[in-house]
Amino acid sequence: LAQFYNPLLQKEVKKTLKLLRSKTRFLITSHIGIDGDGLASELALARALKKMGKKVQVLNDSGTPHAYQFLPDAQKIERFGQVSPAPREVTVILDAGKFERIGSLKDVVSLRRDTVINIDHHRSNKGFGTVSLIDPLISSAGELLFEFFKWAKIEIDKTTALLLYVAILTDTGRFTYDNTTARTHRNIGELLEYGIRPELVANEIYRRVTHGQVELLKHALATLTYTEDGRIAHITLLRKDFDQTGTSGLETQEFVEIPRSIDGVRVGIYFRETLEKGTVKVSMRSNGGIDLNRFARRFGGGGHRSAAGITLQTKIEEAKRKIIASLAQDISRI
Ligand SMILES: [Mn+2]
């Protein structure tokens, strides 16, 4: 085999391929609050493994958001709690920067007992797998899978290409975040050659909302607040907002873009209460100048430079006070 695209990963790609080829039964999972990259990468890898004659189960903590239910085989993804993991030889964890990110699957996956392949692109990832294939310079887990499939000469068909396209499209914010590179566009160009129609994909993911989502957006906009200097803008959704509109947090992944996009704002924040009582999720997006991954890590979270998240076990008012005060201090230094 030729040299891998990222020569630093030469050993890891070889080990990964060896495991994928030699083993038969696989469990594939990803992170809580699953997104387009997590889901589409899972489905792309599952498809590739099935074509190699393997037994594959895709099992997640989270349900599949409305926007991604059109993905081929999305209906076959199972949910932990409703379904238990089947016997397996290898567990593949995609797009998770920390082992804890697999959520309740921690109860059945053990880093000590199990063979775990971690395929990821988060800068904060320290490599928790038996094999850890991590490229912090690539846009998404899906783009890393694409380069891996090409290198390993694993067949990519039109459906796999669509899945990888969706992973890259969504994780780059439609090719607008700072993880979008010439390499990304070259890979996307190759994927488009399979006959993918970007307008149809966009219709499914970006040009379609449920009535509940619009109602929820009204609640979110009513909470929009700025810090005194106008450099932080934040929105908040409470448990009751989701209950009243029949929606879930998974349907609000783009909401943080609203405070972030306002003129003069450096960081947009979206706070929400989760189903678990006393747990608050904090999503943050910056317009540059501040490293949100570094900021989030101080609170046990992580992510990327311009997009990161934190989970706090506290009341929402306390979470807001703490995060906003701390971030305002960091921003005052830039
Ligand atoms: Mn990702």
Residue 133 tokens read as 């294939």
Q: Is the pLDDT of residue 196 over 90?
A: yes
Chain mean pLDDT for the chain = 96
CA-atom Rg of the chain in angstroms: 20
CA of 229 to the centre of ligand 1 (A): 32
Provide, rounded to the nearest whole percent, the portion of the chain with pLDDT above 90. 91
CA of 129 to the centre of ligand 1 (A): 17
Q: Are strands 225-226 and 131-134 parallel, antiparallel or unpaired?
A: unpaired
- Whole-number pLDDT of residue 334: 84
Q: Is the pLDDT of residue 284 over 80?
A: yes
Q: Is the pLDDT of residue 1 over 80?
A: no
CA of 109 to the centre of ligand 1 (A): 21
Q: Is the pLDDT of residue 327 over 90?
A: yes
Residue 157 tokens read as 């068909």
For 66-82, write each residue's pLDDT tens digit.
Answer: 899 999 999 999 999 99
CA of 170 to the centre of ligand 1 (A): 9
**What does pTM read for this prediction?**
0.89
CA of 111 to the centre of ligand 1 (A): 21
For 46-103, write each residue's pLDDT tens digit.
Answer: 999 999 999 999 999 999 998 999 999 999 999 999 999 999 999 999 999 999 999 9
For the segment 7-17, the average pLDDT, to the nearest whole number, is: 97
Question: 3-state class of 58 per DSSP?
Answer: strand
- Whole-number pLDDT of residue 88: 98
Report yes or no: 133 and 16 within 8 Å, Cβ to Cβ: yes
CA of 37 to the centre of ligand 1 (A): 5
For 199-219, write each residue's pLDDT tens digit.
Answer: 999 999 999 889 999 999 999
CA of 179 to the centre of ligand 1 (A): 10
Distance CA 142, CA 131 (A): 17
CA of 141 to the centre of ligand 1 (A): 5
Distance CA 79, CA 76 (A): 10
For 147-182, write each residue's pLDDT tens digit.
Answer: 999 999 999 999 999 999 999 999 999 999 889 999
For 209-247, write each residue's pLDDT tens digit.
Answer: 899 999 999 999 999 999 999 999 999 999 999 999 999
CA of 288 to the centre of ligand 1 (A): 19
Residue 18 tokens read as 């060896």
- Whole-number pLDDT of residue 262: 97
Cα-based distances in Å from 108 to 24, 29, 87, 103, 194 = 19, 12, 11, 10, 38
CA of 119 to the centre of ligand 1 (A): 10
